[in-house]
Chains A and B, each alone.
Chain A
Amino acid sequence: MKTNFSTLTLEETLQSSETSVTTRVIPSFIYASVFASFCIAVGLQWDISWHMSVGRDGLFSPPHLAIYLGAIVSGIFSGIKVLKTSFWGSLQEKQETIKFWGIFHGSLGAMFCIWGAFAMLTSAPFDDWWHNTYGLDVKILSPPHAVLGLGMIVIQFGALISVIAVQNRLGNNLQDKAKTHLHWLYAMSSGFLLVMGYTFFAEYFFLSRQHHVLTYQVAMAALPILMVSVAYASPYKWGATKMAIVYTLLMAGMVWVLPLFPAEPKLSPVYNYITRFQPFHFPFILIVPAMVIDLIISKWKSRNKWVLAAALSLGFVISFVPAQWYFAELQMSEFGRGWFFGRYSYPYWANPDSPYRYIFHPEYISRGWDLVKGLGIAALIGLITCRLGLAWGNWMSQVKR
């Protein structure tokens, strides 16, 4: 905690001496990075829907183009930014960046974005070879898809780091309009990242599994790192809640918009004769635990981090599990069948008469002691991931380059 304190003091002294130069607008590459992150989040949801509805795709399918647009925008903007600063930048610009490999000057966010773009580039020929060798994988996770996914998530993370670094460096010296922009850029870049974090583990998050502890254990392993770190590093109130709102709007928006468009399966065999795009998941009700996280952090931010992590983990489990449990029940019920939750959505290659389509899968229902024990394990997992999230957040709150 002491380090944090001293950093804050230092920042103030520095800012007072530099007031003349820091009243600038937000660099355009920050907007570009957040836009790239948006393209990737939307592209991914769209691509999953495409695979559920149309099936056949190629290198240049529309959802792929959205994802590539994200990679290209972030790669090019970050790349140009790094080259410009390295070879044509002023001394002050260079002093605000990180020097690497002896010649380059770049911000950490830009370095992340460049890495992500290269990882995505690498995954393309790797994935193509993989499909020709082991067959086109319809599953989300395969080694080349992991490289691609890592690239996407790193770009999104780079966008978040870019925003937070500007915030940390110039936050208080920005004009009001720019401040508001930065505020929303932070909410958006973190929300888009959360969409990606959710999607990576979505195999465990199917509605029919949401009455089983594994869903919550995986959620506790994956989500608190992102949500706690963002809340902790957030210079604004309700950082995690805004992140969860962006996540919810984007995922729910895809559920509402995609089925407006016609789609026709283009691969055999077809068991479910659909005519519209089948959307992916309706989002988790993460707004509930996000509010709890924000409240706990705003109250006990300076407490011992392990104690704080324990409180966060417990708060997360206690608020999220019942909320999602009954939310899932609502979605399963007759009330949940309409367009709102996208419950009709079912891939063309699945049997629409499956007995498990509208029930919680009997193999994935936890009860009694199993449930209590399982949630205890989830809370323990959460303790570790919340603690990691705090460390991560603490680091993010210090990033300035």
Chain B
Amino acid sequence: MIGKILAPILILILFSSHVGSPGVIFEGLLGPYRVLANINPPDVVPGTAVVTVIIPETPEGISLEARPVYWSAGLKGTPKADPLYPVKGEIGKYEGELWFMEPGTSSVQLMMTVGGETFEAIIPVMAVPTAQKEMPVELGIILVLLGVLLVVLMVTIVASAMSDSIREPGMERTVKSQKRKQIGIVVGTLVMLLILWGGKSWWDAESNQYRNYMFEPLNGTATFESSPEGNFLHLEVDPLKSTQGRVTRRISFIVPDHGKLMHLFLIRKGDLDVFAHLHPERLDTLNFKVKLPPLPSGDYHVFADITRYTGFAETIVADLTIPETNNFKLASNDPVILGRDDTYTFSNPVSNKLITLDGDIMICGKPGIKTDLPGGYSAVWETETGKFEAGKLYSLDFALFDPEGEPASLEPYLGMMGHAVVLKHDGTVYIHLHPTGNYSMGSQQMLVDRFKSGKIGFSDIPQSLSFQDSIDRVVAFLDALPDAERDSLLMGNMVHYNKTDPGHEEHSMVSFPYAFPDKGNYRIWIQVKIDGKIVNGAFDVEVE
């Protein structure tokens, strides 16, 4: 390739398992070292991804390699890994480029060799084309000039071929040959115009074909349903229109992630003052339903995260309107009984206008400032500078304290030490984070299992309907288990690492690795479990 032409990019706002946040971030242990990886997947497929790895302990004598492993091809169907090279001037940072040749569920297999031993991790990457680029003006000018030269020269050649080329050497042009030359100019021009027109139509057709092949996020229609049993959200997923990924993105292939088929987040638009994390039940392949907490009326963002058997994770996007009258009715009603993992919280509006919500209002914290949370708990977003830059990988560290002001003891919530949701104020960036990164852990599990099985291709995949039934049974079984048993099942093969930070107890802190994709104001909700209760916190940050 002749360098990378930096084209103005029109990135689709909605992307894969995240909205507006294309990078995949991973944090975990590779052998003895804590490793942070940031994968910038290709926006055009086939294309290259940039893999950046940071090892904070900056060890020496290690070597890092990575390779793209497709769900469909497995480890055997993946070429030798490429080395990641140390970045000059930044100790402990490594970088490399990887080719992603096909759309579909893929992963980056990260391998670190320390003293003859190799440790590895599989990080899911959804390889999908998301960008339609335009040609930079300078390149356009160069191509037009070369094109004009080619057209003029070819017309000259055609005219010469018809007249001068067949003239005997030494003979002068005659009237007849002059005439033939003029005819040649006309013929050549017509032929070139025809070729240019044909080329233009072809180009347009290719461009349209590409547009059809680009990733389209799944949309859904969310409706508010009121009944004597309470208020419900009904989400109907639009069937997949794209011809791409008919198998990979089959909706009947949904598998539980952290024990839940769907993680649905409701955030009130504009003020971002209402936040709910719910887990809808599947009615049929495309329909999902969940009991709503007493939420105030208004327009809501609906983000529903799903993962499939094929490893393909994505976010279904919808809008929900909760009607005006509902608020009053709910306020007078008995407390709503939600699912045991479902939760909601109120915080101050981003516009700082007067708060008119019922229930505990939490004031959003800022980096570095201790903030009170509902239930007497408090949290500090620990940061060195309090400043965050777009595109830079950070560990967002939160320390939690109990009502006595002592470091709190965190318990697993849905199999993780914490969950976080990041939303840009304008709604263009949404992401669900875990301490392990921003990828779907369900997807990771599917990939690892698939690679272990040694299966390849799409010929041995299960039948949609029987698969859906068996998954429903697994979810019902998990739902029936007591918390402790379920958590031990869900956390079965997770690796825990101890941070050697003397200021905190082992589990009083939760960290989320993340790189904010662009500048602007963000709100972050963190969710942890303390003393068997789900505790929510919210923080605001301006990213420069």
Binding site for B on A (CB under 8 A): 7, 10-11, 14, 55-56, 58-59, 92, 95-96, 98-101, 108, 111-112, 114-115, 118-119, 121-122, 124-126, 128-129, 131-136, 138, 142-143, 146, 165, 169, 264-271, 273, 349, 351, 395, 398-401
Chain A residues near B5 (CB-CB < 8 A): 125, 128-129, 132
The distance from the CB of A14 to the nearest CB of chain B, in whole angstroms, is 6
**Given known contacts A119-B150, A135-B129, A269-B70, A264 and B165 CB-to-CB distance under 8 angstroms:** no
Indicate if the CB atoms of B73 and A400 lie closer than 8 Å: no
Indicate if the CB atoms of B79 and A267 lie closer than 8 Å: yes
**Given known contacts A125-B142, A267-B79, A108 and B73 CB-to-CB distance under 8 angstroms:** no
Selected A-B contacts with CB under 8 Å, 13 pairs: A96-B170, A98-B164, A112-B157, A129-B7, A133-B135, A135-B45, A169-B169, A267-B79, A267-B99, A268-B69, A268-B100, A271-B77, A400-B166
Residue of A at shortest CB range from B99? A267
Answer yes or no: B446 CB below 8 A from chain A CBs. no
Indicate if the CB atoms of B77 and A165 lie closer than 8 Å: no
Given contacts A132-B5, A143-B199, 11 further A-B contacts (CB under 8 A): A115-B153, A115-B154, A134-B206, A136-B46, A169-B169, A265-B79, A267-B79, A395-B166, A400-B166, A401-B164, A401-B166
**A21 to B146 CA separation, bound complex (whole angstroms):** 39
The distance from the CB of A339 to the nearest CB of chain B, in whole angstroms, is 25
Indicate if the CB atoms of B168 and A400 lie closer than 8 Å: yes
**A112 to B203 CA separation, bound complex (whole angstroms):** 25
Contact of B133 (CB < 8 Å), options: A118, A133, A400: A133
Contact of B80 (CB < 8 Å), options: A58, A96, A121, A266: A266
Chain B residues near A124 (CB-CB < 8 A): 2
**A217 to B167 CA separation, bound complex (whole angstroms):** 37
**A119 to B154 CA separation, bound complex (whole angstroms):** 10
Chain B residues near A351 (CB-CB < 8 A): 457
How many A-B pairs have beta carbons closer than 8 Å: the answer is 161
Answer yes or no: B174 CB below 8 A from chain A CBs. no
Residue of B at shortest CB range from A130? B206
The distance from the CB of A284 to the nearest CB of chain B, in whole angstroms, is 27
Indicate if the CB atoms of B150 and A122 lie closer than 8 Å: yes
**A11 to B106 CA separation, bound complex (whole angstroms):** 69
The distance from the CB of A47 to the nearest CB of chain B, in whole angstroms, is 15
Indicate if the CB atoms of A98 and B165 lie closer than 8 Å: yes
Indicate if the CB atoms of A132 and B133 lie closer than 8 Å: yes
**A267 to B167 CA separation, bound complex (whole angstroms):** 54
The distance from the CB of A203 to the nearest CB of chain B, in whole angstroms, is 15
Indicate if the CB atoms of A122 and B147 lie closer than 8 Å: yes
**Given known contacts A98-B160, A268-B78, A125 and B139 CB-to-CB distance under 8 angstroms:** yes
Query: Which of A56, A114, A132, A269 is the most central at the interface, judged by chain B CB atoms within 10 Å of its CB?
Result: A269
Chain A residues near B457 (CB-CB < 8 A): 271, 351
Residue of B at shortest CB range from A108? B165
**Secondary structure type dominating chain B contacts:** mixed
**A271 to B455 CA separation, bound complex (whole angstroms):** 11
Indicate if the CB atoms of A268 and B7 lie closer than 8 Å: no
**Given known contacts A14-B168, A268-B69, A269-B73, A135 and B44 CB-to-CB distance under 8 angstroms:** yes
Chain B residues near A131 (CB-CB < 8 A): 1, 47
Binding site for A on B (CB under 8 A): 1-2, 4-5, 7, 44-47, 67-70, 72-73, 76-80, 99-102, 106, 129, 132-133, 135, 139, 142-143, 146-147, 149-150, 153-154, 156-157, 160-161, 164-170, 199, 202-203, 206-207, 210, 456-457
Contact of B101 (CB < 8 Å), options: A100, A112, A121, A268: A268
Indicate if the CB atoms of A401 and B167 lie closer than 8 Å: yes
Residue of A at shortest CB range from B101? A267
Chain A residues near B73 (CB-CB < 8 A): 268-271
Indicate if the CB atoms of A269 and B169 lie closer than 8 Å: no
**A273 to B149 CA separation, bound complex (whole angstroms):** 46
Chain B residues near A99 (CB-CB < 8 A): 164
Residue of B at shortest CB range from A101? B156
**A179 to B125 CA separation, bound complex (whole angstroms):** 63
The distance from the CB of A343 to the nearest CB of chain B, in whole angstroms, is 23
**Given known contacts A56-B99, A132-B44, A121 and B69 CB-to-CB distance under 8 angstroms:** no
Chain A residues near B154 (CB-CB < 8 A): 115
Contact of A122 (CB < 8 Å), options: B129, B146, B165: B146
Indicate if the CB atoms of A129 and B135 lie closer than 8 Å: yes
Indicate if the CB atoms of B143 and A132 lie closer than 8 Å: no
The distance from the CB of B84 to the nearest CB of chain A, in whole angstroms, is 16
